[in-house]
Amino acid sequence: MLLLAPFARALYLDGCAGLGGKTLHLTQLLPEGAQVVAVEPNLKRQALLKDSRRRLGGPEIEIHGGTLQKFAEQRQGGFAGILIDAPCSGLGVIRRQPDIRWKRSLAVLQGYQGRQRELLAAAAGLVEKGGLLVYATCSLDPRENDEVIAAFIQEHPEFSITPAQEHLPEAARGLCNDQGFLKTTPEQGLDGFFAARMERNG
């Protein structure tokens, strides 16, 4: 979430809100006057997000059902920061869920990549000039991470990668690679996560 910093009194979007943990964390980081919009097509998850916000308090969250693609068709840009914590294979949590290895075929992985690229493409037009787009997965597979970002940058040259390490606490900077991506692995005693921070330049 820190990869969306510096935070401003502006409009932010969680494009894959799920149960809302990251959405609610974002509301806690933002200054007073900022607004958060969440997109979550699943009705049960929407209800849980609303319930969590009521219990925890904090600012209102504008919640939209339907897909991010539909949301992007109906909404103009103007978001200072967008988080896409994309649906993925979950290969990064394989040490805690070892049965994942038997449930992920090459075709399944390719399907995830297609969906991830669609989500980023939908989000791209919603980011204002100078705004940020953060992409994250809990996967170790380059097809869901590096390859997705490479394809996105090629198709959207108005975006550029900015080094994640410049926006993380000192203890986490060593988890970033030379390309500026945050990458954690089970070998480090952590679940496998990936995150890329991109800025819209034009």
Residue 132 belongs to a domain with what CATH number?
3.40.50.150
> What per-residue confidence (pLDDT) applies to 108?
65
Task: Name the average pLDDT for the chain.
Answer: 90
Is the pLDDT at 165 greater than 90? The verdict is yes
Rounded Cα–Cα distance for residues 104 and 54 (Å): 37
Catalytic residues: 138
- Provide the H-helix boundaries in 75-145: 106-124
DSSP 3-state of 187: helix
Number of domains in the chain: 1
Is the pLDDT at 154 greater than 90? The verdict is yes
- Give the pLDDT confidence of 87-120 residue by residue, as tens digits: 998 877 765 655 655 456 556 667 889 999 999 9
Domain that residue 171 falls in: 2-200
Rounded Cα–Cα distance for residues 192 and 182 (Å): 10
* Residue indicated by tokens 């330049």: 201
For residue 20, the 8-state DSSP code is: S
Q: How far is CA 181 from the centre of its chain?
A: 13
> What per-residue confidence (pLDDT) applies to 107?
62
Is the pLDDT at 128 greater than 90? The verdict is yes
> What per-residue confidence (pLDDT) applies to 58?
79
> What per-residue confidence (pLDDT) applies to 15?
97
Amino acid sitting at position 146: D
> What per-residue confidence (pLDDT) applies to 142?
94
> What per-residue confidence (pLDDT) applies to 60?
86
Is the pLDDT at 156 greater than 80? The verdict is yes
- Give the pLDDT confidence of 33-87 residue by residue, as tens digits: 999 999 999 999 999 999 998 888 878 899 999 999 999 999 987 999 999 999 9
- Give the pLDDT confidence of 178-201 residue by residue, as tens digits: 999 999 988 888 889 999 999 999
| pLDDT over 70 percentage in the chain | 92
Rounded Cα–Cα distance for residues 82 and 3 (Å): 10
pTM: 0.92
> What per-residue confidence (pLDDT) applies to 176?
95
